[in-house]
Amino acid sequence: MSTKTEADLEGNRRILTLKNLMGRSLILNRPEALNALTHPMVLAIKKHLLGWQKSELCNVIILRSNSPRAFCAGGDVVRVSSDWESGNQRGAMQFFMDEYAVNHLIASYEKPIVALLDGYTMGGGVGLSMHAAFRVATESTVFAMPETNIGFFPDVGASFFLPRMDGQTGMYLGLTGQRLKGRDLVYAGIATHFVPSERLPMLEKRLQEIDVVDYNVVNRAIEEFVAQPEGGEIEYSLGGVREAIDRCFRFNKVENIVEALRQEAEVEGVEGEWAGRTLERLMGMSPSSLKLTLEQLRKGGACNIQEAFAMELRLAEGRLGSHDMHEGIQALLVRKSNDPQWQPPSVEAVDMAKMYLEYFERRSDYQMEFLGGAAFNEYPYAFGLPSEKEIGGFVRGENPQAGDFALTRGEVVAFFVRESGNKVGVREKVNWVLDRKTRLMPDSSVLQWVK
């Protein structure tokens, strides 16, 4: 039996498909490994997506898991590391080239894709979902980009989506690998909707009935199953520390971020406790990964989506040639001793000038081959909650629909609720942002945006 046939069989066994009416479901089926993506799985996903994109009998694609524990907890980096270390460098890089090509294909896709993020959604699982127009979180969803913990960097398009999150939230998540759960994902902008897991089978059935390729129709169908937040207030685990996140993670040097956290940790209260925990967490990460990630995400904010993936491919090659990636994978995923010996051992010992030359200016023999044409600077579909940037622009009058007059809180909230079609969570998020970012003008009820 040829290697190609074995790979095809593996892909077909681990990636299942379901055809019903006008919907197509792509089902991850490697539950014993939390659906960690192997190379054959990536190739199988590519094959099905390319085929369904051309089919007139398919109007919507659903990405989901066969396991309630995980949508997809990452990529099979143990195998990738082993390939590189054993001399199969082309094979190791081909995994990333194919994985990133599939991620970009999802971003470019010409039909609605709905990712059902029930359970662990990390690393490679984020790459399969974040670039889709619709991302549905449940009470069981656990999101993270934990790559700095194994000596790697946040990839699968994180260079594009993390810098575009509210304030410094993306920088914080990318450097620390902090987990978000449930409704957190909606308020952070990672998920577009929150649907209780018990409703997912009904949602999938409803999506399969859609008889037209129309993103707004798909959005309205998902909204039928969305759960209302309890109590009318924002349910966001980062809510109490968002200002501290912006204060500490706004710098362009890891050393400055560390110092800001140390100062913040001296303050009593929720923010001080958060800073202490965050500082301890950062100190366990690969120092070279932290510096690489910070530079990557700052650059990614100015990249279009193709440029972001091309940059990540160069960085992946660089990390595969490093000590820390293989050491991190061995210590945390193979030996499971949780005692990686990083080289260099501290942030201060990392030569950033040398790293910049090695990772960002080096020439590579590997190039991305994109399967879609997307080269946008912002995601073209906005079915989630409004961002802080959008809310700020409206308050400051930068949005033409704001008119020429200063606005009251009620007018701002009413605008976003109306524009979203009374979407669940909009009122709560807009009020929360206005509480933090605005103040009343003297002797007036109109708002002023405060930096």
What are the catalytic residues?
Answer: 75, 124, 147, 155
DSSP track, 336-392: -------SSSSGGG--HHHHHHHHHS---S-----SS----SS-S---SPPPHHHHH
Dist. CA 115–CA 291, nearest whole Å: 32
Bridge-based pairing state of the strands 438-440 and 447-449: antiparallel
SS3 55: coil
Contact of 391 with 433, CB cutoff 8 Å: yes
Under DSSP, the state recorded for 441 is P
Write the CB contacts of 381 (distance below 8 Å, at least 6 apart in sequence). Answer: 133, 215
d(CA 296, CA 21): 43
Task: Tell me the helix, strand and coil percentages in the chain, rounded to 5.
Answer: 50, 10, 35
**Which residue's structure tokens are 């700052």?**
298
In this structure, what token pair is assigned to residue 449? 């945006």
Residue 149 is encoded by which pair of tokens?
A: 């913990």
CA distances from 431 to 59, 145, 327, 386 (A): 36, 28, 46, 11
Contact 325, 152 (CB under 8 A): yes
Distance between CA 58 and CA 243 in Å, rounded?
A: 45
Please return the burial class of 14, using the count of CB atoms within 10 Å of its CB with bins 0-12, 13-18 and 19+: buried
Exposure pattern of 155-184 as b/e (b: 16+ CB <10 Å)?
Answer: bbbbbbbbbbbbbbbbbbbbbbbbbbebbb
Number of neighbouring beta carbons within 10 Å of residue 78: 15
What CA–CA distance (Å, rounded) separates 118 from 137? 6
On whether the CB atoms of residues 93 and 40 are closer than 8 A, the answer is no
Which residues are bridge partners to 117 per DSSP?
137
Q: Which residue has the tokens 């089978």?
A: 201
